[in-house]
Amino acid sequence: MTKLPLEGLRVADFSWFGAGPIGAQTLATFGAEVVRVESETKIDSLRVVQPFALNEDGTFKSGYNASGYFNNFNAGKLSIQLNLNTEKGQELGYRIIEKSDIFLSNFTPRVLDKWKLRYEQLSAINPRLIAAYAPMQGLDGPHRDFLGFGAVLTPVTGISYMSGFPNRPPIGVGTNYPDYVINPGHTVTAILAALRYRNRTGKGQCVELPQLESVVNGLGTAVADYLANGTIQTRSGNRNPIAAPHAAVRCADDPTSVGSPDRWVAIACYDDAQWSAVCDVLGHGEAARDSRFATFAARKANEDALEALLNQWTATWKAEDLMEALQARGVPAGVVQNAQDLLDRDPHMKARGYYRYLDHPETGRAAYDGPPMVLSETPGVLRTAAPLLGEHTMDVCERIIGLSADEIADLMAEGVLL
C-alpha cells in the first residue's frame, strides 16, 4: 500500500465540537496518527447530540458512542480519556504532546491557561512542536474569552446579515457552516505551512487561527464593496444582480423524499438566449417576446412577476427531468438536493464513491464523509470508524506515554484516566 503523505506524524488533538476535530480528521485521513484527548468530566457535546443510530426496534441508541454527528468528524482517530483538571492529568497530557508533532486546540485562552497549554509552555518541552490554536476570537483582545460556534460566527462575521430575503430578518445559513468548511480548511492549510517550515529549519512554531478572522474571508466582495463604494451588501434572497431569473422554482412533490416531499430546481439566466431556452423548454415561447421579460432590464424590473410565472410553469415537472431538459439547452440549472439525494440518489456522487462506509462497534455500518480532496499518488483513506470514548486509553498510555499496566491501574483508580 502506498505510504500516505502524513504518515509518521502524530497529532495531539485537544480540540472539541467541530472546527478543531474536523481539521484533525483531515490530517488522520492522509496518514497522521491522531490522539483525541477526551474526558467524561467535560464530554464533547457532539457525542450526545442527534442524529443517533437506531436500534433494531426503531428506538434511538444512547450513550457516548451513538452520535452520527460526532462519529462522522472523528474517523481514524485514537481516543484517550484524560482528566486535565488534575495535576497528574496535565502531566500525562504533556507527555503526549512531547511525543507529538502537532498540537491542536480550539478552546478559549481561559481554558488554555487553566490546563497550562500555552505555546510557550508546550514549546519548552517540545521545541519542534507545531501548536495550532483556533479559539473563536483569538488568543488576545477584548473578546478573547468569548465562546461560540458556527451559529454564532455567522451573525458576528456578517454572513447572516446577507442571508435571507429583503425586508425580512436575517436567517443565517441554516447550519454551522464555518465549523465544517472554513475554519478546519484554514487550520489544516496553516499546519501544513508550518510543517514545511519545520522540514526546512527544524523549528516548530505557534499557529493562531482566530475563527472570527478566518470566517470573515467567506464574505466575498462585501467588505471590498463597502470600502470602494460605501455600499453595504444585504439580503437578496436567491437573486443575483447579473442574472434574471435567478431563483429556486417549485417542482412536483416527490412522495419518496424522506422528511418533506417538496422539490425545487435552481435556474439562472445570464442572457436573453438562456431565457428564451427556458421559455421553450417550459412550453411558453411567447414569454420570451413579452415586453415585461424580453430583455434583462425588463426581467429585472418585473422579477416578482417573472418568478411567479416560473413557479406556475414548473409545478408539474419532476425536478430531475426539468434540470436535464434545461441543461440540454445550455441553461444553468440544478436540483436543490437534500441529504437523501446526496447519499442515495445522485449518480455523480455514487460514481465517484465519495461517501465511505465504515463498521462501528456500536452503531454498525454507516456512511462517512470521504476525503475532501483526492491525491493521485497518495489518496486519503478513512482507516477506521470513530473511536469509542476512551477506546485507546490503554494503548496510548503504554505505547506513547510509556506507562506500565500497574501505573495505568493506579491512575484510573485516582480518576486521572477515566
Q: Which residue has the cell 476535530?
A: 21
pLDDT of residue 149: 85
Residue 212's nearest CA partner among 280, 274, 148, 120 is 148
User: Residues 307, 299: contact at Cβ < 8 Å?
Assistant: no
C-alpha angle 94/32/41, rounded to 5°? 45
- The H or E element containing residue 112 is helix 109-114
- The H or E element containing residue 92 is helix 87-98
Residue 310's nearest CA partner among 341, 366, 266, 354 is 266
Q: Say how far apart CA 317 and CA 9 lie, in whole Å.
A: 53
Instruction: Give 10-residue mean pLDDT values along the chain (418 residues).
Output: 91 96 97 97 94 94 96 98 97 98 97 97 98 96 91 93 94 89 96 98 97 93 95 95 97 94 98 98 97 98 97 98 98 97 95 96 96 92 96 98 97 95
Q: Is 304 exposed, middle or buried (0-12, 13-18, 19+ CB in 10 A)?
A: exposed
Q: Which residue has the cell 435556474?
A: 267
pLDDT of residue 1: 62
Chain segment 272-286, per-residue pLDDT in tens: 999 999 999 999 999
pLDDT of residue 18: 93
pLDDT of residue 175: 86
pLDDT of residue 155: 93
User: Domain 246-348 classified CATH 3.30.1540.10?
Assistant: yes
Q: Say how far apart CA 240 and CA 247 lie, in whole Å.
A: 9
Domain locations in the chain?
Answer: 10-218+355-414, 246-348
pLDDT of residue 174: 85
pLDDT of residue 93: 98
Residue 270's nearest CA partner among 313, 236, 291, 240 is 240
Written out in words, the top-level CATH class of the domain with range 10-218+355-414 is alpha beta
- DSSP designation for 86: S
Catalytic residues: 179
User: Residues 67, 48: contact at Cβ < 8 Å?
Assistant: yes
User: Residues 179, 150: contact at Cβ < 8 Å?
Assistant: yes
User: Residues 235, 162: contact at Cβ < 8 Å?
Assistant: yes
